[in-house]
Structure 1
């Protein structure tokens, strides 16, 4: 519920690493996001600070990332931000910012892409059930044991 959802635009900094595990496929790569600003004194765009994120993709998204994302490509990543802090080598504090991706796509403001749907594996065939017999018995059908008069609702008076 109280998750931090982010949308980040940047460049792929490392080749995606793809892994198959019991939980399903996963892929990860580093994303570089550099702020740019207009420098009035120089009248040019200038690069600011660069933030690096580790982007994690799971299941079909991981398969697709491994197939089409490469170093240097501009991408848009949407997902849950997780900041982790660890102590390494005794005293040094190490901080990482991870994004559990929900969606990843190429930034079309900086290039073109050709979309191709992923082919889903065929589902195993299901057992064929016989079609039910919807035929209603006719009035002279001896299998139900009723006479035509009984079917019409006529009562025999004796």
Structure 2
């Protein structure tokens, strides 16, 4: 059983991208999370010692994270917590690692611009063919993903038509109250 966790913190390192021998992309970075508490004697907020986590993201998430994230940025990480114990020259150590399911900027710390990934129509046709959809009508047989133009498309309404009272205002339909 794996524990799911949500972390909010700052990137402690620049995301490092690698490609596995099997061609899978993976990105690794560290994140520091900490709490603040009010020191009652000084009446000043103080940072509590940070917890450090290593984060790994795979596939498209890794590619997008490498393009979007940078050291010092405040982020939200959602994923599965893994704790691994290992031996070093200095003795036994424990490593906290999160395998990310989702990543994003924490918008309480600033703003972000989202750019949705668009798939090329060729990639879609190749994907459809690999999934066995190429022989079915409507799959993979169009060159464009845009709907065809309609010959009888109406022009947008004029300014006067736009402000005409609606059918409900003209009394054709009774009002509910």
Unaligned runs of 5+ in 2: 138-177
1:119 Cα deviation from its structure 2 partner: 2.8
Correspondence for 1:46: 46
Does residue 123 of structure 1 match 2:124? yes
1:44 Cα deviation from its structure 2 partner: 1.9
Correspondence for 1:19: 18
Kindly provide the CA deviation profile for residues 80-132 of structure 1, in whole angstroms up to 9, marking residues without a partner as x: 0001111112x51121100000011101111111111123352345597597x
Runs of 4+ aligned residues of structure 1 deviating over 3 Å after TM superposition are 124-131
Unaligned runs of 5+ in 1: 132-158
Correspondence for 2:57: 57
Question: Helix, strand or coil: the match of 1:49?
Answer: coil
Correspondence for 2:140: none
Aligned length: 129
Question: Helix, strand or coil: the match of 1:84?
Answer: strand
Provide the TM-score with structure 2 as the length reference: 0.67
Q: Tell me the C-alpha RMSD between the 2 structures.
A: 2.0
Q: Who wins on radius of gyration, i.e. which is larger?
A: 1
Does residue 112 of structure 1 match 2:107? no
Does residue 96 of structure 1 match 2:95? yes
- Give me the whole-angstrom Cα distance separating, in 2, the residues matched to 1:17 and 1:26: 8
Which is bigger in relative contact order (C-alpha 8 A, separation at least 6)? Answer: 1
Whether the 8 Å CA contact 1:83–1:96 is kept in 2: the answer is yes
User: Whose strand proportion is higher, 1 or 2?
Assistant: 1
- Give me the whole-angstrom Cα distance separating, in 1, the residues matched to 2:41 and 2:88: 42
